[in-house]
Amino acid sequence: MNRPARDAAPLLSVENLTVRYQLGRGLTGRARTLTAVRDVGFTIGGGRTLGLVGESGSGKSSIGRAVLRLAPVTGGRIVFDGQDTAAFGRRTPLSFHRDVQVVFQDPMSSLNPRQTIATTIAQAVTRHRRLSAAERDREVLGALDRVGLSGYHRDRYPHELSGGQRQRVAIARALAPRPRLIVCDEPVSALDVSTQSQVVNLLMELQRELGVSYLFIAHDLEIVRHISDEIGVLHHGRLVESGPADQVYRHPSDPYTKALLASTLVANPVRQAARTARRRASAGTGIAPGGGL
């Protein structure tokens, strides 16, 4: 996973980011706020992946949304391709909408249930480019092919596909404008374990092919490890640890990272089964390790 950085200057630079939400007035009439992210910094180079992990409520999605300009940046700054995004003001340039895409956890709710897959992807393909009908159809087929779907899936509706296939459609849609960065907010958390690794592998292949960068958010350190060049660990809105993926995974220095690692190891059914088998074997029960997987 130690790929060299392709660009000297990072594509995305998040500096001392703070995200604070206004919660309205409490009973005392005083305005209340909730600080979801405090003083967080990281960079992502071209063609690279930063994995962001932390338990539910730790501020992961707030960071992803801040990058997408959908959450309030109340401190620090976010620089994309050399441009401070705060300078955009209320008018986010079309180029930024094209360059920074998102894949959410639940494709069922992010895809329009009344639209065929072809219509969904065609909209994404033509949003930033003028194409003839024939060019558009070719692009749609190419986009499906790239994520491992075929012409058969073109005229299906989201409910006719499996969870993994739907997530492939969401990835095809995100890639259609040829973005430079995709915020992947728990894109495999709703999928079963074998489908998770297929979708993670697909994202990695697409990165090699297209050079796109990922901000990959998950609550599972095990998943983030495979796709990430660097990993950041969030706890209560703060980055408690960050560094090269293997280093964070193999030699975590923060106690919270260690706890997170221990919990994901137990939550992973394959590893759990292997551990149980080893325990049984060492207890001399005669049950062969690896059975029942």
Q: Which residues bind Mg ion (CB under 5 A)?
A: 61
Nearer to Mg ion, 146 or 219 (CB): 219
Residue 56 interacts with ligand ADP (CB under 6 A)?
Answer: yes
CB 19 within 8 A of CB 35: yes
By CB under 6 A, which span of 57-65, 96-104, 129-137, 257-265 interacts with ligand ADP? Answer: 57-65
Nearer to Mg ion, 49 or 120 (CB): 49
Dihedral over alpha carbons 95, 100, 105, 109 (to 10 degrees): 0
Residue 58 interacts with ligand ADP (CB under 6 A)?
Answer: yes
Nearest CA to 191 out of 101, 273, 103, 107 is that of: 107
Tell me how far, at minimum, the Cβ of 35 lies from ligand ADP, in Å: 8
Tell me how far, at minimum, the Cβ of 30 lies from ligand ADP, in Å: 16
Nearer to Mg ion, 55 or 254 (CB): 55
Q: Which does 57 bind (CB under 5 to 8 A by kind): ligand ADP, Mg ion, none?
A: ligand ADP
* CA dihedral over 110, 203, 200, 5, signed as positive or negative: negative
Tell me how far, at minimum, the Cβ of 15 lies from ligand ADP, in Å: 19
Nearer to Mg ion, 62 or 85 (CB): 62
User: Whole-angstrom Cα distance, residue 229 to residue 224?
Assistant: 9
Find the binding residues for ligand ADP in span 4-43 (CB under 6 A): 21, 23, 34, 36
Tell me how far, at minimum, the Cβ of 217 lies from ligand ADP, in Å: 7
Residue 260 interacts with ligand ADP (CB under 6 A)?
Answer: no
Nearer to Mg ion, 40 or 144 (CB): 40
Using CB atoms, what's the residue nearest to Mg ion?
Answer: 61
